[in-house]
Each structure stands twice: as C-alpha cells, then as structure tokens.
Amino acid sequence: MRALLRYTLDLFEPFARVHPAQAATEIIAKLPPQAPQAPLDAVPAAPAPCAPAVAPVVPNAPARSLREELVPAAFAHPLANRTLHLPDATVAYLFERARRRTIGFMIGPDGLVVRAPRWTPLHEVDAALQAKAAWITRKLAETRERQARRDEACIDWRDGATFPFLGGTIQVVLDPSHAFVKAGAQLQAQEGWVPARFAQVKEEPAKRAGDTAQNAQAPSLLGATSAAAADRGSGVQALPLRILHVALPHSASPQQLRDSVQAWLMRQAQTHFKQRLEHFAPLLQVQWKSLRLSSANTRWGSAKSDGSIRLNWRLMHYTPGVIDYVVAHELSHLRVMDHSPRFWQTVESVLPDYAQVRSQLKDDAMPRW
C-alpha cells in the first residue's frame, strides 16, 4: 500500500512543485520578440530601398520580460519638448506657443503638435490633453499604421517595377529602342500584352462601370472609356496591368528611372486634373483661373479666392473617384472658404458619397517614392 501511495505521489509531484511565477516566466520566454515600430518620418526626398516584406529571424533572440510586454505604446515627435503620460501610451510631443485663442492639437506623420496661447498656463494644457487622450492615442495609432502600410508599398525603381495608377497597375519597362525621346516615356495603347520577361505577373482584365453621358465627353487616360466613370469608394475594381515604356538604357540608375516616371506622371496629372476641374466647375457655378501641381507630403490640394488651384500629382496613384473628391473639395472652397456645414453641403451637392471617398483617401496607402 505504501509503495502504491509513493508511486501515485511521484506521478503528480512534478506539477505541484512548479511555482506559478516560474510557469509564467517559461510562457513569456516562448513569445517572439516584438518588432520595432516604424518611424513617423515624412516621405524622403530621395528614394530609399524598400525594406523586405518579412524580417529575418534572429537566432537565440533574447526573450522579453513580462514588464516589457506590458509597456504602453510609445509615440515620439522628433522635435518633442514635452511628454504626456497616459494609462495606455506615452506621447512625446512638440509644444509651441502661438498667437491663437484656443489650444490646438495636430497629428501628422511626425506625431503630435500642441499649440496654445501665450497666456495659457501649462496645467490647462495638460488638462486639455488628458480630456482628449482617447482621440490622441487613436489618431496616433492610425497614423502609425498608415505609415507602415505606406512603407510596405515602397516602389523598387528597376526594370519591371510596378505602381498604382488611377485604380489600376502600371509596370515600368526600360525600352531604349523606342523613338519617343522627347516624351521620355509612353504608356502602351493596348492592354493585356506583357513583355516575355515579365509574363508571370500578367493580370486578367476586370470589368468597369459604364460612363455617364455627361462624363463621356472628356478624353480618358484609362483607354476607351472615361476615367470619371469608375465607381467612387472602396468598391472600385482593379484595372488590367498596363505597360509604361521608358526610353532609358537597361543600365539606368534607380534615380534616373524614378525621375523619368515622375515627369510622365506629372504630365498625366496636369491633363487629368484639368479635365475634372472643367467637369465640376460648372456644376458648382465657380470659375478656376490656374492649376499648379504640388509635391506636398501632407496636403492633397489648396484653393485661393482668386481662383488658383493646387493639386498634388501623387493623387494619380488613387482611383478616379478619389481624385474627383479632392477636385470638388477645392472647387467648393471657391464658394465657401472654410469647412463649415455649408461647405460640406456644397461638396455633397456634386458628390453625394463624398464621406465614403474621403475615408478611402485617408485609409489607402500611398506608395513611398
């Protein structure tokens, strides 16, 4: 009987001797190390090599402790001079005194910027930050996620590179034999043909919505049908792969290829934006005087009361519906120079679904140049 009791205790004793803290340590040791957060830097002026899609596995990586796993999220502005401590996040932000009447918060690619009147005491600034804590952390997390998606969409400037264009995809082909040196690049008129060395990435054509009679008058950059006919919002179907022949030798550097494609893309933007301005201006009963292309990192467009319009050429990476929203937005400012309810009613008068398209502009990742 005693031998049987000893055998029974031997069966259960190894589990009884494990302390809960030791068990928790063993479980934490098996967790993979957390990847570093992507920096909130602005789009660089010079092209940077794309990071690999999957980070290499580091052998014998040190395990993270329970304290490290429970550390709140951290957001830091590169010029931060104050820190906000929240239950679920630590935010290092840039604080500035400004000639204004209220405390203002702005969240951009670099992080949080807070501006306050010169006479506002710091404890009131801290109280305002605490009151807006949930909004601040949510917007910072959304901005970081958007930045990570943009980094993943980085364009690798080489023969065969692809980039989004008006809801479809364009593939770049170095073609020094073509005689279009003045234009620098030429979009292939036919859709569906892909050079033999890139045949494995050929895409099947997708059906597109039909044109309205009003929009069908303007020539299109997308082929036989009008660009304005594409459905606005997230339901837009992808267009087939198209080939952009670039008159450069196969030994061209990434910078040369990038500059040639950018010059071509800006020419397409100038043409497409003018078509859409001419379409929406009569509907809004406004007149625009001039169009200039912008390369801003954080603004899609602007309008002045004198009728001058600035639009970001990078909008050509988005669907025609998104571009229509930005064009209608800026033209609406020629009637209402603010963002009051009357302004949004003006936008809605020509784009009833503007709210959905506006969300798409915020959510979709623009490729990093």
- The confidence score (pLDDT) of residue 71 equals 58
Q: Which long-range contacts (CB under 8 A, 24 or more apart) does 203-209 make?
A: 203/169, 203/238, 203/240, 203/241, 204/240, 205/239, 205/240, 206/237, 206/238, 206/239, 206/240, 207/237, 208/237, 208/239
Query: Which is nearest to 349 in space by CA: 283, 288, 291, 266?
Result: 283
- The confidence score (pLDDT) of residue 278 equals 96
Q: Where do runs of H (alpha helix) occur along the chain?
A: 2-16, 20-29, 66-69, 122-131, 133-152, 254-284, 320-332, 341-350, 354-363
Model confidence, pTM: 0.58
Residue that the structure tokens 């919505």 belong to: 209
Is residue 227 within 8 Å of residue 272, measured between CB atoms? yes
- The confidence score (pLDDT) of residue 180 equals 56
Query: Which is nearest to 112 in space by CA: 84, 151, 87?
Result: 84
Which tokens sit at 340? Answer: 């009051």
| CATH 3.30.2010.10 in the chain, residue ranges | 162-363
Which tokens sit at 111? Answer: 């992080």
Is residue 241 within 8 Å of residue 202, measured between CB atoms? yes
- The confidence score (pLDDT) of residue 115 equals 95
230-242 per-position pLDDT tens digit: 444 444 444 567 8
The CATH-assigned architecture of domain 162-363 is 2-Layer Sandwich (3.30)
Which residue stretches of the chain have pLDDT < 50?
4-48, 52-62, 64, 66-69, 190-238
How many whole angstroms separate alpha carbon 274 and alpha carbon 228? 12
- The confidence score (pLDDT) of residue 91 equals 95
